Amino acid sequence: EAQVTQNPRYLITVTGKKLTVTCSQNMNHEYMSWYRQDPGLGLRQIYYSMNVEVTDKGDVPEGYKVSRKEKRNFPLILESPSPNQTSLYFCATSRRGGAGELFFGEGSRLTVL
């Protein structure tokens, strides 16, 4: 079954404590991306990756890091989380360079106290 798997699904943490949200896909897609969803703002892109070792900033990259060491994984790293990073995060993949259908994970709800 084609899947985009995110972990953890829910996390409550404190300001400044480094955390990583993992994303893994089994569809052999080259393109992967992270979004955050906030009420009234829709989805905003944080970072994306067109292929292994290729990453680029989206619209709201501040406070986040990513890496793409292998095709199937695209972790999102918050080095020093702050309360304004409290949000619902989605990983998404696409089979052809970002164009066409995006396949989303189920989301990771992060609360930073």
Partner 1 sequence: GEDVEQSLFLSVREGDSSVINCTYTDSSSTYLYWYKQEPGAGLQLLTYIFSNMDMKQDQRLTVLLNKKDKHLSLRIADTQTGDSAIYFCAEEPDNYGQNFVFGPGTRLSVLP
Exactly one of 23, 25, 34, 48 binds partner 1 (CB under 8 A); that residue is 48
Exactly one of 23, 94, 110, 112 binds partner 1 (CB under 8 A); that residue is 94
Question: Over the chain, what HEC string results?
Answer: CCCEEEECCEEEECCCCCEEEEEEECCCCCEEEEEEEECCCEEEEEEEEEECCEEEECCCCCCCEECCCCCCECCEEECCCCHHHCEEEEEEEECECCECCCEECCCEEEEEC
Exactly one of 13, 22, 45, 86 binds partner 1 (CB under 8 A); that residue is 45
Question: What is the CB-side half-sphere exposure of residue 97 using CA atoms within 13 A?
Answer: 0
Cβ closer to partner 1: 8 or 79? 8
Question: Rule CB under 8 A: is residue 105 a binding residue for partner 1?
Answer: yes
Exactly one of 25, 33, 87, 93 binds partner 1 (CB under 8 A); that residue is 33
Shortest gap between Cβ of 77 and partner 1 (angstroms)? 20
Instruction: Point out which residues bind partner 1 (CB under 8 A).
Output: 4, 31, 33, 35, 40-45, 48, 50, 56, 58-59, 90, 92, 94, 97-102, 104-107
